[in-house]
Amino acid sequence: MAGTGVFADILDGDVYKYYADGEWKNSSSGKSVAIINPTTRKTQYKVQACTQEEVNKVMDSAKTAQKSWAKTPLWKRAELLHKAAAILKEHKAPIAECLVKEIAKPAKDAVTEVVRSGDLVSYTAEEGVRILGEGKFLVSDSFPGNQRTKYCLSSKIPLGVILAIPPFNYPVNLAVSKIAPALIAGNSLVLKPPTQGAVSALHMVHCFHLAGFPKGLISCVTGKGSEIGDFLTMHPGVNCISFTGGDTGIAISKKAGMIPLQMELGGKDACIVLEDADLDLVAANIIKGGFSYSGQRCTAVKVILVMESVADVLVEKVKEKVAKLTVGAPEDDCDITPVVSESSANFIEGLVKDAKEKGAKFCQEYKRDGNLIWPLLLDNVRPDMRIAWEEPFGPVLPVIRINSVEEGIHHCNASNFGLQGCVFTKDVNKAILISDAMETGTVQINSAPARGPDHFPFQGLKDSGIGSQGVTNSINMMTKMKTTVINLPTPSYTMG
Ligand code: G3H
């Protein structure tokens, strides 16, 4: 159970502690932040409201710890990460319980998130050992005018202190996707979890603590964004920020200093359906892509662009499947569970009302109870409706009927977002042409958008982000190149 057994140390009374200097601590603020259970809409947990002074201390410790960690052999760093991964998987049940209570993730998906995270940590350890163990060797006489008098040795060195800010929808998985590459590359890591998801993240961090990482190398500060948000992202001690979330990322990138940024800021992933598509496959992928975790995934299908000639049949098939989705509590492992907050539910409702006023066809009756919104397919959506462009982050999916592939590509490319997209057709040649034309970081052919498997490159264009994630890309992004040049008095090939 959460906060008990090996996790008892992380809880004091009814407030979860923050993690600094290898210890679980109470904030000197004496204040806490409440975490509201999306299902009950009552306070479920409380976390420390850390102060700016505490952030300063964490940054100092992170800087000191990183210096010796960078000198720790790579195989040893990998060994500790493997240990943390095993502990994480061993304790999947209490962590999944937190995910259910804090972010209303369906019970089975919550367990999957933790297991997937353990696998990600192990994979990163292995990948790091390989790619960080390699460097580059150059000789000077390949460049015009040079003799072979210089040997250039390049290798990757850590950046320093990485600030990781994951989103509420994957507070464990999208935290470890930043923590593991940072650590294997020899960096230290400061984690600022989302408020909803913070307790799951604190449990995850405890698994790293139990694995025996050095003091100060990993820290986790909780608190109000208004108090420590900008303070963290603008902190001079931070050498890199890896952020996943919404618009806040754009603000962060404007304020951050001259440091590498990795940002993933959502999407409006289009699903383009051609006349020759396997419509059963499309319908199954729309359900999985559009409604899993109630549409609260940046890679969710967020607009269907279907050729008019097959639209009626497709809508009917999707409707049948929507009717079978279970709606209710995450504890019961329902398909559709309450969205994360009341403000989120209100936002979704605003999009639905706008679509109604402008004449969208409702394939189901709109229904809401608290934060729980029943799955809704909106047909005949037109570009003047907000739902055609904005991401609901909820179980509401618009269908726009198109008369040409070009029309679909145009709609996709007119979006501010450019995360992923998908195209369904049996003609692979056409699929490749469409993929090239879509301005998104990834195009899936004959499957719904998705980030995983977690070692695949994952990136967004336009307002969807900066940089690329995926295990290898994240490790590379959290390092910089260092070269040593050996200068010889005479060209090296003159002897003999
Ligand atoms: O919400 C953003 C996530 O990166 C999406 O990940 O495709 O595994 O659900 P996913």
Check: CB of residue 194 under 8 Å from CB of residue 214: no
Q: Which amino acid residue places its CA nearest to atom 2 of ligand 1?
A: 298
452 lines ligand 1 (CB under 6 A): yes
> pTM of the predicted model, to two decimals?
0.97
Closest by CA to 50, choosing from 241, 227, 232, is: 227
Q: What is the mean pLDDT of residues 320-349?
A: 98
Instruction: Give the model's confidence band at 496: pLDDT under 50 very low, under 70 low, under 90 confident, else very high.
Output: confident
CA of 123 to the centre of ligand 1 (A): 18
Closest by CA to 100, choosing from 177, 33, 11, 40, is: 40
450 lines ligand 1 (CB under 6 A): yes
Mutate to test the pocket of ligand 1, among 109, 292, 298, 458 (most ligand atoms within 8 A of CB): 298
Helix (H, G, I), strand (E, B) or coil at 275: coil
CA of 463 to the centre of ligand 1 (A): 16
Q: Is 262 left (phi over 0), alpha (psi -120 to 50) or beta?
A: beta
297 lines ligand 1 (CB under 6 A): yes
Helix (H, G, I), strand (E, B) or coil at 116: helix
Which pLDDT score is estimated for 71?
98
State pLDDT tens for residues 77-118.
Answer: 999 999 999 999 999 999 999 999 999 999 999 999 999 999
Structure-block tokens of residue 401: 């009927």
265 lines ligand 1 (CB under 6 A): no
Q: What is the mean pLDDT of residues 64-84?
A: 98
Check: CB of residue 187 under 8 Å from CB of residue 161: yes
Burial of 21 (0-12, 13-18, 19+ CB in 10 A): middle
Which pLDDT score is estimated for 449?
98
Q: Which residues on neighbouring strands pair with residue 362, listed in sequence order?
A: 378
Q: What is the mean pLDDT of residues 273-278?
A: 98
Which pLDDT score is estimated for 301?
98
Instruction: For residue 272, give the amino acid letter.
Output: I
298 lines ligand 1 (CB under 6 A): yes
Mutate to test the pocket of ligand 1, among 170, 339, 455 (most ligand atoms within 8 A of CB): 170
Has residue 494 got a pLDDT over 80?
A: no
Has residue 468 got a pLDDT over 80?
A: yes
Mutate to test the pocket of ligand 1, among 451, 456, 458, 473 (most ligand atoms within 8 A of CB): 451
Rounded distance between C-alpha atoms, residue 132 and residue 77, angstroms? 12
Q: Which residues on neighbouring strands pair with residue 34, listed in sequence order?
A: 46
Q: Is 145 left (phi over 0), alpha (psi -120 to 50) or beta?
A: left
Which pLDDT score is estimated for 495?
75
Give the position, in ligand 1's atom list, of the atom nearest the Cα of 293: 9
CA of 271 to the centre of ligand 1 (A): 16
Counting DSSP H helices and E strands in the chain, the numbers are 14, 28
Closest by CA to 165, choosing from 238, 114, 241, is: 241
Mean pLDDT lowest among 62-66, 246-250, 460-464: 246-250
State pLDDT tens for residues 191-222.
Answer: 999 999 999 999 999 999 999 999 999 999 99
CA of 299 to the centre of ligand 1 (A): 5
359 lines ligand 1 (CB under 6 A): no
Check: CB of residue 261 under 8 Å from CB of residue 281: no
Give the position, in ligand 1's atom list, of the atom nearest the Cα of 451: 7
CA of 451 to the centre of ligand 1 (A): 5
Which pLDDT score is estimated for 376?
98
Structure-block tokens of residue 203: 């449990």
Across 52-79, b (16+ Cβ under 10 Å) vs e yields eebbebbbebbebbbeebeebebeebbe
Q: Round the average pLDDT of the chain to a whole number and report it.
A: 97
116 lines ligand 1 (CB under 6 A): no
State pLDDT tens for residues 355-401.
Answer: 999 999 999 999 999 999 999 999 999 999 999 999 999 999 999 99
Give pairs for 255-262: CB < 8 Å, separation 24+.
255/230, 259/159, 260/159, 260/467, 260/477, 260/478, 261/466, 261/467, 262/178, 262/465, 262/466, 262/467, 262/468, 262/469, 262/474, 262/477
Has residue 136 got a pLDDT over 80?
A: yes
Rounded distance between C-alpha atoms, residue 108 and residue 89, angstroms? 14
Rounded distance between C-alpha atoms, residue 12 and residue 10, angstroms? 7
Q: What is the mean pLDDT of residues 281-299?
A: 98
Can you say whether the dihedral through the CA atoms of 429, 432, 438, 442 is positive or negative? positive
Q: What is the mean pLDDT of residues 65-85?
A: 98
Check: CB of residue 467 under 8 Å from CB of residue 260: yes
Instruction: Give the model's confidence band at 493: pLDDT under 50 very low, under 70 low, under 90 confident, else very high.
Output: confident
Instruction: Give the model's confidence band at 263: pLDDT under 50 very low, under 70 low, under 90 confident, else very high.
Output: very high
DSSP 292: G
User: What DSSP string describes 364-428?
Assistant: S---EETTEE--EEEES--TTSGGGTS---SSEEEEEEESSHHHHHHHHHHSSEESEEEEE-S-H
302 lines ligand 1 (CB under 6 A): no
Instruction: Give the model's confidence band at 122: pLDDT under 50 very low, under 70 low, under 90 confident, else very high.
Output: very high
Can you say whether the dihedral through the CA atoms of 339, 341, 345, 351 is positive or negative? negative
CA of 23 to the centre of ligand 1 (A): 31
CA of 297 to the centre of ligand 1 (A): 5
- 349 CA to centre of own chain: 25
Mutate to test the pocket of ligand 1, among 297, 301, 422, 442 (most ligand atoms within 8 A of CB): 297
Active-site residues, by number, are: 264
Which pLDDT score is estimated for 375?
98
Q: Which residues on neighbouring strands pair with residue 138, listed in sequence order?
A: 152
Q: Whose structure tokens read 């990485």?
A: 162
Q: Whose structure tokens read 């990998």?
A: 78
Give the position, in ligand 1's atom list, of the atom nearest the Cα of 296: 1
Which pLDDT score is estimated for 156?
98
Can you say whether the dihedral through the CA atoms of 65, 70, 74, 75 is positive or negative? negative
Give pairs for 362-368: CB < 8 Å, separation 24+.
363/315, 363/318, 363/319, 363/322, 364/319, 364/322, 364/323
Across 360-381, b (16+ Cβ under 10 Å) vs e yields beebeebebeebbbbbbbbbbb
Number of Cβ within 10 Å of residue 7's Cβ equals 22
